[in-house]
Chains A and B, each alone.
With several copies, the nearest count.
Chain A
Amino acid sequence: MLELYPGELDVDKIFAKWRAWGEDKNYGAFITFVGTVRQEDDIEGLSFDVYEPILRSWFDSWQQRARERGAVLRMAHSIGNVPVHTSSYMAAVFSPKRRVALELIEEFVEDFKANAPIWKYDLKGGQRIYARDRSQKIEGSGLLDNPQ
């Protein structure tokens, strides 16, 4: 249910695949979130590093939480370069009822931003520049700094 792709996502194809997967499973609500690279600060695109082992265990723990509410999560993310106006991130919730789907997509996307082990770089003038100012420290950061 977690898919990683080199470069930009084929959004229509992934959407259609997910929808077809869900269509005979009696889910009443299906929500998708698509994140697209915006043109700003003269960037040519973004680039991503992903640390897959921890990303998978993070995703699996969310899948478990979703399952306890009768829902299923899906996610796709790019690795490497993604041009402006193309998409690097998709997330989806299938659930019997709309309330759970609306709540889960929000919780999942927000926690993704805060904790998924993915690093973002601006592509600018052929350089790959770590987007430090838009990045968030993972909870528990600083553990190894000045231990007593």
Chain B
Amino acid sequence: MVRVEFLGPIGLAPREVEARSLKELAKELSKDPEVKKWLSECAVAVNDKIVKDIDTPLKEGDKVALLPPVCGG
């Protein structure tokens, strides 16, 4: 299981998902329309590091964060 956190304005509670790679996680998350609609504009961090490879493997206990569009300052 990995823990998925939805940051900032997404406003959903964290959830535990069974996935051994980001690709598997993407398929799982796409099943929920409330999450699905954010996927096209979110960056992804695994254990607080932004990743850009959909084949990134996941292991038990990993933390995945979805980061919607930002605007600091």
User: Is there direct touching of A and B in the complex, by C-beta distance under 8 Å?
Assistant: yes
Q: How large is the interface on A (under 10, 10 to 19, 20 to 34, 35 or more residues)?
A: 35 or more
* A137 CB within 8 Å of chain B: yes
* B13 CB within 8 Å of chain A: no
* A54 CB within 8 Å of chain B: yes
**Are A113 and B43 in contact, CB atoms less than 8 angstroms apart?**
no
**Are B67 and A144 in contact, CB atoms less than 8 angstroms apart?**
no
* A112 CB within 8 Å of chain B: yes
* A141 CB within 8 Å of chain B: yes
Residue of A nearest to B56 (CB): A143
> Could you give, for residues 1-29 of chain B, a 1 whenever the CB lies within 8 Å of some chain A CB and a 0 otherwise?
00000011100000000000011011101
Q: Which of A134, A140, A146 contacts B44 (CB 8 A)?
A: A140
Main secondary structure of the interface of A (DSSP, over half): mixed
* A51 CB within 8 Å of chain B: yes
**Are B70 and A115 in contact, CB atoms less than 8 angstroms apart?**
yes
> Could you give, for residues 114-148 of chain A, a 1 whenever the CB lies within 8 Å of some chain B CB and a 0 otherwise?
11111111000000001110111111111111110
Among A89, A115, A141, the most chain B Cβ lie within 10 Å of the Cβ of: A141
- Our count of residue pairs bridging A and B at CB distance below 8 angstroms stands at 121
Q: How large is the interface on B (under 10, 10 to 19, 20 to 34, 35 or more residues)?
A: 20 to 34
Q: How far is the CB of B50 from chain A (nearest CB, A)?
A: 6
**Are B50 and A135 in contact, CB atoms less than 8 angstroms apart?**
no
**Are A57 and B49 in contact, CB atoms less than 8 angstroms apart?**
yes
Report how far A77 CA is from B40 CA in the complex, Å: 28
Q: How far is the CB of A89 from chain B (nearest CB, A)?
A: 4
Q: Which of B25, B41, B48 contacts A54 (CB 8 A)?
A: B48
Please indicate the chain B residues that have their CB under 8 angstroms from the CB of A74 in the complex.
none
Please indicate the chain A residues that have their CB under 8 angstroms from the CB of B65 in the complex.
51, 54
In the A-B complex, list the 7 residue pairs whose CB atoms are closest, starting with the nearest.
Answer: A119-B8, A118-B72, A135-B69, A138-B43, A130-B9, A144-B26, A120-B71
15 contacts between A and B (CB under 8 A): A49-B8, A51-B7, A54-B49, A77-B72, A98-B73, A109-B73, A116-B70, A118-B71, A131-B71, A136-B70, A138-B69, A143-B43, A143-B54, A144-B25, A146-B26
